[in-house]
């Protein structure tokens, strides 16, 4: 790899130096191959596995990737007619199943703790001229964060992720029974559930939980706890808060790594919200967020003291004026934002009365029935908003970007939140969408959110997700459709 010329872009010079450092240290790590990974629209990692001898060329020139990978629904069907005219007008740079380039980030290098002699690099999809593809989810979060930074702010996020782990009993691998998507494996439970935070159940599941622990820690993720959740074979992982982009990257690495490591040991980890069995409990993804000063990192949601002459149900009793405006923005765009927070048909079965999941567009103080749970007291540097609308299959880049655009709109328009709820399941409140199709309709009508993401991406996202909805509506056995679409694939 050549040295940068005088006058070269300093960012390019820094990247070249990072590439050289990576190539120099690889011989001492026993690396035989490197996976080049990219997170698709649905939050799943895709990529290619290169022999270590090919890495220098990949860092310098990129790795070819067929463009249709960015145009697929959750079953891997390409939504667009890529060999017919007109696609390039809708999505410039796409057409005829042309090639894109994956540009690896040398700073992202990881040793995969479950795969001997294997490294991993995050990559950005680019056009032939090196410019990032604008409909890439991670690029969209970077743009949202740049918008936030231009106002002097940054965002910190903490993750609480619920998921299920099963023991694989039999794999349906008969080629005569292959289908698109294929049938999931037969599984059995690791614990019978309905014994929240049971130490006995945790000990019973120790072998699988140790794999989760060692995988997360081996990837450098700030795992805080592993817990037994209420439902059968259901678990929760909690992570320390970090900056928003890092948190999104960590979510992708956790889901991908845990699923692969457990599969090697005969387990299936699924982040499907509602696995296809009777008497299960839905899994959620609770996203904690706090706006901080972009220079000194001060929590801008925190109040030093309560606002004067306000009731305990007023946002000013716990949140700064800025925090109240951010809260109001999240509420104003809740219906449209649910298309990113809960992007599968399956996830909408989670929203019900008294289900520890949200049903209505409202907030509450330390209230687990509310969509937005505000935590903290005046003077508490950990003051934050917990959004409980998300499902664990959400693409973290899009989910967090939607939070940023909604919160910033609340600040820019100086919106005021309503009083906190004391009855989160009252039927008179504004309801969240109850189906994915309704959430997509709300997104299409939310011109502020669509323009913030960019109309080409918004139209692309709507087309891809509506294709998913249409296929489900056409399915004769809708339960089997969801088993095949989500259970073992995500």
Domain boundary (114, 133, 152) is at: 133
Residue 1 has pLDDT above 90, yes or no: no
Three-state DSSP state, 147: helix
Q: Do 374 and 447 have their domain in common? A: yes
Q: Give ∠ CA 315-319-321 in degrees, rounded to 5.
A: 85
Q: Do 250 and 281 have their domain in common? A: yes
Q: Do 208 and 284 have their domain in common? A: yes
Q: Does a structural domain hold residue 4? A: no
Q: Do 22 and 43 have their domain in common? A: yes
Given pLDDT bands bounded at 50, 70 and 90, which one contains residue 125?
very high
Q: Give ∠ CA 425-429-432 in degrees, rounded to 5.
A: 80
Q: Do 55 and 88 have their domain in common? A: yes
Q: Does a structural domain hold residue 1? A: no
Residue 141 to residue 400: CA distance in whole angstroms: 7
The strand pair at 363-365 and 372-375 is best described as parallel
pLDDT digits (tens, 9 = 90+) for 166-196: 999 999 888 988 999 999 999 999 999 999 9
Q: What is residue 91's predicted lDDT score, i.e. its pLDDT?
A: 94
- Residue 418 near residue 313 (C-beta atoms within 8 A): no
pLDDT digits (tens, 9 = 90+) for 401-438: 999 999 999 999 999 999 999 999 998 899 999 999 99
Q: Give ∠ CA 352-335-402 in degrees, rounded to 5.
A: 120
Mean per-residue pLDDT for 95-119? 96
Q: What is residue 3's predicted lDDT score, i.e. its pLDDT?
A: 44
Mean per-residue pLDDT for 81-106? 94
Q: What is residue 5's predicted lDDT score, i.e. its pLDDT?
A: 43
- Encode burial over 190-205: b for 16+ CB neighbours within 10 A, e otherwise: bbebeeeebeebeeeb
Q: Do 119 and 170 have their domain in common? A: no
Q: Do 149 and 293 have their domain in common? A: yes
Stated as kind and residue range, the H or E segment containing 204 is: helix 199-204
Q: What is residue 12's predicted lDDT score, i.e. its pLDDT?
A: 87
Task: Count how many domains the chain has.
Answer: 2
Residue 4 has pLDDT above 80, yes or no: no
Q: Does a structural domain hold residue 3? A: no
Beta bridge partners of 101: 64, 126
Q: Does a structural domain hold residue 71? A: yes
Residue 115 has pLDDT above 70, yes or no: yes
What average pLDDT does the structure give for the chain? 95
Tokens of residue 161, six digits: 């992720």
Q: Do 96 and 120 have their domain in common? A: yes
pLDDT digits (tens, 9 = 90+) for 192-238: 999 999 999 999 999 999 999 999 999 999 999 999 999 999 999 99
Stated as kind and residue range, the H or E segment containing 167 is: strand 153-170
C-alpha atoms less than 13 angstroms from C-alpha of 194 in its C-beta half-sphere: 3
Q: What is residue 10's predicted lDDT score, i.e. its pLDDT?
A: 60
Residue 372 has pLDDT above 80, yes or no: yes
Q: What is residue 370's predicted lDDT score, i.e. its pLDDT?
A: 95
Q: For a pLDDT cut of 90, what percent of the chain falls above it?
A: 91
Given pLDDT bands bounded at 50, 70 and 90, which one contains residue 9?
low
Q: Do 129 and 184 have their domain in common? A: no
What's the domain range around 86? 10-133
Q: Does a structural domain hold residue 2? A: no
> Of 113, 118, 126, 120, which Cα lies nearest the Cα of 47?
120
The strand pair at 242-243 and 186-189 is best described as unpaired
Q: What is residue 7's predicted lDDT score, i.e. its pLDDT?
A: 45
Going 211 to 212 to 216 to 219, the CA torsion angle's sign is: positive
Task: Please report, for the domain that includes residue 77, its CATH number.
Answer: 3.10.20.70
């Amino acid at each position: 790899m050549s040295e940068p010329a005088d006058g070269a872009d300093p960012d390019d010079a820094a990247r070249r130096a990072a590439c050289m450092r990576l190539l120099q240290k690889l011989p001492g790590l026993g690396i035989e191959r490197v996976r080049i990974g990219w997170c698709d629209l649905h939050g799943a990692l895709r990529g290619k596995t290169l022999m270590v001898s090919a890495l220098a060329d990949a860092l310098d020139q990129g790795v070819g990737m067929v463009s249709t990978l960015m145009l697929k629904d959750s079953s891997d069907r390409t939504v667009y007619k890529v060999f017919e005219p007109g696609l390039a007008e809708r999505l410039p740079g796409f057409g005829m199943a042309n090639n894109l380039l994956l540009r690896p980030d040398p700073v992202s290098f990881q040793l995969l703790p479950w795969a001997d002699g294997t490294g991993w690099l995050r990559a950005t999809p680019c056009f032939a001229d090196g410019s990032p593809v604008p409909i890439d989810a991670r690029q969209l979060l970077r743009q949202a964060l740049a918008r936030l930074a231009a106002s002097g702010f940054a965002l910190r996020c903490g993750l609480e992720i619920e998921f299920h782990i099963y023991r694989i009993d039999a794999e349906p691998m008969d080629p005569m029974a292959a289908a698109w998507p294929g049938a999931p494996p037969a599984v059995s439970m690791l614990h019978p559930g309905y014994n929240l935070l049971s130490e006995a159940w945790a000990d019973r599941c120790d072998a699988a939980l140790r794999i989760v622990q060692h995988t997360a820690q081996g990837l450098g993720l700030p795992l805080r706890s592993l817990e037994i959740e209420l439902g059968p074979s259901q678990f929760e992982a909690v992570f320390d808060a970090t900056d928003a982009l890092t948190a999104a990257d960590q979510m992708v690495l956790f889901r991908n790594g845990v699923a692969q490591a457990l599969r090697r040991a005969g387990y299936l980890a699924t982040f499907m919200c509602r696995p296809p069995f009777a008497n299960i409990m839905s899994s959620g993804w609770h996203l904690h967020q706090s706006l901080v000063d972009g220079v000194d990192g001060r929590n801008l949601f925190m109040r030093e003291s309560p606002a004067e002459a306000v009731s305990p149900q007023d946002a000013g009793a716990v949140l700064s004026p800025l925090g109240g405006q951010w809260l109001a923005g999240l509420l104003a765009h809740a219906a449209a934002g649910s298309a990113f927070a809960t992007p599968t048909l399956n996830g909408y079965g989670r929203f019900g009365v008294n289900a520890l999941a949200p049903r209505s567009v409202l907030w509450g103080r330390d209230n687990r029935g509310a969509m937005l749970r505000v935590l903290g007291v005046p003077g508490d540097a950990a003051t934050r908003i917990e959004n409980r609308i998300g499902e664990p299959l959400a693409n973290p880049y899009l989910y967090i970007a939607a939070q940023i655009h909604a919160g910033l709109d609340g600040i820019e328009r100086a919106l005021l939140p309503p009083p906190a709820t004391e009855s989160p399941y009252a039927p008179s409140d504004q309801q969240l969408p109850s189906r994915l199709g309704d959430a997509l309709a709300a997104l299409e009508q939310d011109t502020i959110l669509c323009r913030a993401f960019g109309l080409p991406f918004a139209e692309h996202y709507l087309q891809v997700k509506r294709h998913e909805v249409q296929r489900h509506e056409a399915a004769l056995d809708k339960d089997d459709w969801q088993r095949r679409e989500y259970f073992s694939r995500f």
